[in-house]
Amino acid sequence: MDAYRGRAAAATGAAAGAPPGDDGAGTMSTPYGPLTAQDRDFVRKVRLAGLWELPAGRQAQQRGTRASVRHAGDHLVEGHTELDRRVIEVGQALGLDLPNQPNEQQQGWLAELNRAQGDDYERRFVQLLRMAHGKVFALVAQVRAQSRNTMVRQLATDANSTVLDHITVLEDTGLVDFDAIAASASAPATPPSSTGRTSPVRTTK
């Protein structure tokens, strides 16, 4: 009974945004295994990613002039619709508060795409989304390898498949500037876009 009450209290605290406070390192007990600060951060980042990548995909479906760009948009919409459903289920099961709108940085990326036109739009769409997916891909692998929470591991498995699919279809457009992606490794917060202007690619706060 005491263990159950402890889990319930921890989950309630997390849902309210309060520190879990069980072990000093931010790890809380759940029925699905220990839930670390990294686990919680990952779940929220998956949710945040979908909040801007899903509308970006819908926009590409409508505005893309290349069939390959519209195809990439289709995959983003399909993948993030399902992944968003999953992350909401995981968040509810683990008692986590999840964001409901893109953060300021992500809103800026969507605004950048809204302003772009024609070929410039398609290149910006592909480059921004490919860079963003490349960053989250590394995080997914880390969480999948380290998490002791079964819900988080399954979410990471689902995210891994989705992100890899999106990376593939974005690269299949032939519009990815791989030199810019390589350059971004030394400055992950503000990598250059395909036009030479700087465009941050982190997908979360």
pLDDT tens readout for residues 136-180: 999 999 999 999 999 999 999 999 999 999 999 999 999 999 999
pLDDT band at 12 (very low <50, low <70, confident <90, very high): very low
Most confident range (mean pLDDT) of 2-6, 13-17, 104-108 is 104-108
Asked if the model's pLDDT at residue 192 lies above 70, the reply is no
* Residue 28, domain member (yes or no): no
Give residue 115's pLDDT.
Answer: 97
Domain count, the chain: 1
Range of the domain at 104: 37-184
DSSP code of residue 133: H
**Residue 81 — φ and ψ, nearest 5°?**
-65, -45
Token output for 125 = 């769409």
Distance CA 178, CA 70 (A): 21
Residue 116 belongs to a domain: yes
Helix (H) or strand (E) holding 104: helix 104-115
Residue at 54 is within a domain? yes
Rounded Cα gap, residues 3 and 124, in angstroms: 51
Per-residue pLDDT at 205 exceeds 70 = no
Identify the bridge partners of residue 198 per DSSP, sorted by sequence position: 192
CATH number of the domain to which 140 belongs:
1.20.1260.10
The overall average pLDDT reported for the chain is 84
Question: For 35-189, where are the alpha helices, taking DSSP H only?
Answer: 37-63, 67-94, 104-115, 118-146, 150-171, 178-184
CB distance 52 to 106 below 8 Å: yes
Nearest to 102 by CA among 136, 57, 52: 52
Let me know the angle formed at the C-alpha of 101 by 95 and 103, rounded to the nearest 5 degrees. Answer: 105
